[in-house]
Structure 1
Amino acid sequence: MKCEYITPAVTIFDENRKLDIESLHNLYDHLIKGGVDGILILGSIGEFFAIPIESKKELIRLAVKKISRRTKLLVGTASMDINETIELSKYACEQGVDGIVVISPYYFGLSQQSVEEYYDKVADECPGDLYLYSFPDRTGYDISPNVTLNLLRKHKNIVGYKDTIPGMDHTRELIKLIKPEFPDFKIYSGFDDNFAHNVMSGGDGCIGGLSNLVPEACSAWVKAFKDNDLKMISDIQRKIDCLMDIYQVGKPFVPYIKRALMLKGISVKDYCSFPLPMANEQEILKLKAIMEKSGLI
């Protein structure tokens, strides 16, 4: 079975909350060495919501140069200001990225008609491949399968969809409606533990945050599907199920992914955008317990 595992990379900051270039280089090398099929920068876990546009452009330039076509590079370009979304989308495409990922507007819930009109405008202005990003826990609504189908019939540059929901019901409906007419359209789950279910349902894999920590396990999962190795698929599922506890150590989960990377020995820092916390001693002990149980440390 064809499938992919793409890492939504964390953004590493220094103590002044500026981009930590050396740590970002270390992270990208770690992910590429681990064999992931692509890297997404400036996603939700990448704290896009708290980074100024000029720093976003700096990060795009840095990632393009450092990753240097060694794996696919996607960029989250969403902003509450659609003009900024369009500006950053054009900039990212000009820099040579492989595609942009745009979450729908948040704060106020939108009607599905408004969602379609929003993506019509973004797709019309975007000069490259565009991936829709549905995250109802953050936006208050989804991007419906019917709206997705309408958009695909109008815009050839809409090529994929990241569906970040806890279960598979919505993703499954997307697959059932979209794939018969657009078999090459990529449908990814946004939670790591849905990867296998996604692929077995006819989807294309996952864009999941745990691959920051275990890219080698995630790439092995992809290989296991290609090899029809059911035992390996099952073994990695159980490992990922255990590691999903990291998401529950504290809220939001971003600082704990960064601290887990440090505990694993990856040379990064765990500073986050204000007011996201840093892991305290009790939380670090919880992380260590999860990672020891999973065989990471």
Structure 2
Amino acid sequence: MKKAQFLTPVVTAFDAEGNLDQQANRDIYDFLIRGGVDGLVVLGSTGEFFSMKDAQKRELINLVVSHVNHRTKVYIGTACMTVEDTIDLSNYAIDAGADGVMIVSPYYFALSDESIEYYYDQVIGAIQGDVYLYNFPARTVHDLTPEITLNLLRKHKNIKGYKDTVTEMGHTRKLIQTVQSEFSDFIIYSGFDEYFVHNVLSGGNGCIGGLSNLYPEVFSEWVNAIHTHDLGKAATIQRIVDKMMELYEIGTPFIPVLKKAMVLREIGLQEFCNKTFIQLDQGQTESIHNILQEIDELIANHHIFR
């Protein structure tokens, strides 16, 4: 079994005017590092990269790299809508000291397999550092298939891993089976928290899941349970995470729900988001509060931190 990991796709803290809340972002990084996660993914989907100006992205890259200062791994989402902008931002992040960049393919148009491979060929060949592919078909309206991935791996030695944000674990399993006989060190993460154990048992490396913004200590304990072969504890935490997954059902998109939950847990940010996201109503807030209470009770009753 491979070494399991759980990384956090970190939320981005803003102030009321839409500027970066630098201190709140530092506090979040510290909270996650204390919680024991295996790395931070900044400017991913949960980090609202799609609504940020280039100058803000660069400001946040400088902030996270300097503040984390090698205490854990830092990966930066650098996808832009053009090849040139993606290359520029990726190399900026690498030069700033990021451990790698994560790139989702251009969204809006459904691209052919040939177009997806062509896009990544242009981008990856010009990036001076490690690259992680990011597949999110629900947002890009096309699939970065296992076959495309294998083709890319055969051409680009700086591709190190892949995040598969899909609802069907069978897609991730096929990816593992397709590439890892030839590229045994290729890292494959699931994008939904609940698939962590399934991913690892199938030969993957773990998960990059948004709920770890809320309870990083639970997810690091889950990783430890796998490493110590404590399947009873892993199963207990699976049930706790299954309860956490109910938070995804409260609102679409999920980011305002996650930020509200972090505020309720007093993690140290305000709930300001992309201005296109509507504020949660009282009923949604009460639902979040109730689920958090149930999660806290499950954690306390099962004594997972003994």
* Shorter-chain TM-score above 0.5: yes
Aligned counterpart, 2:143: 142
Aligned counterpart, 2:257: 256
- Displacement of 1:277: 2.1
Question: In structure 1, what residue type is equivalent to 2:84?
Answer: N
Segments of 5+ residues of structure 1 without an aligned counterpart are none
- Displacement of 1:11: 0.5
Aligned counterpart, 1:194: 195
Aligned counterpart, 1:176: 177
Aligned counterpart, 2:63: 62
Aligned counterpart, 1:155: 156
Q: Figure out how many residues of one structure are paired with residues of the other and give that number.
A: 297
Check if 1:103 corresponds to 2:112: no
- The alignment's C-alpha RMSD in Å is 1.0
Aligned counterpart, 2:303: none
- Displacement of 1:276: 1.0
Check if 1:210 corresponds to 2:200: no
Distance across 2 between alignment mates of 1:135 and 1:11: 20
Kindly provide the CA deviation profile for residues 185-219 of structure 1, in whole angstroms up to 9, marking residues without a partner as x: 00000000111100010000000100100110110
SS at match of 2:240: helix
Aligned counterpart, 2:246: 245
Check conservation: 1:167, 1:194, Cα contact below 8 A.
Answer: no
TM-score of the two chains, using structure 2 as the length reference: 0.96
- Displacement of 1:280: 2.3
Question: In structure 2, what residue type is equivalent to 1:220?
Answer: E
SS at match of 1:295: helix
Distance across 2 between alignment mates of 1:173 and 1:18: 41
Distance across 2 between alignment mates of 1:230 and 1:158: 32
Segments of 5+ residues of structure 2 without an aligned counterpart are 300-306
Distance across 1 between alignment mates of 2:21 and 2:279: 16
Question: In structure 2, what residue type is equivalent to 1:182?
Answer: F
Question: In structure 2, what residue type is equivalent to 1:243?
Answer: M
Aligned counterpart, 1:235: 236
Question: In structure 1, what residue type is equivalent to 2:283?
Answer: Q
- Displacement of 1:83: 1.1
Question: In structure 1, what residue type is equivalent to 2:292?
Answer: M
Aligned counterpart, 1:14: 15
- Displacement of 1:279: 2.3
- Displacement of 1:115: 0.7
Aligned counterpart, 2:32: 31
Aligned counterpart, 2:227: 226
Aligned counterpart, 1:166: 167
Check conservation: 1:41, 1:76, Cα contact below 8 A.
Answer: yes
SS at match of 2:189: strand
Report the identity percentage: 49
Check conservation: 1:270, 1:278, Cα contact below 8 A.
Answer: no
Distance across 1 between alignment mates of 2:194 and 2:134: 18
Distance across 2 between alignment mates of 1:218 and 1:82: 35
Kindly provide the CA deviation profile for residues 161-199 of structure 1, in whole angstroms up to 9, marking residues without a partner as x: 000001201100000011111111000000001111000
SS at match of 2:29: helix
Superposed, 1:64-83 pairs within 5 Å as 64-83=65-84
Distance across 1 between alignment mates of 2:109 and 2:168: 24
SS at match of 1:102: strand
Check conservation: 1:102, 1:130, Cα contact below 8 A.
Answer: yes
TM-score of the two chains, using structure 1 as the length reference: 0.98
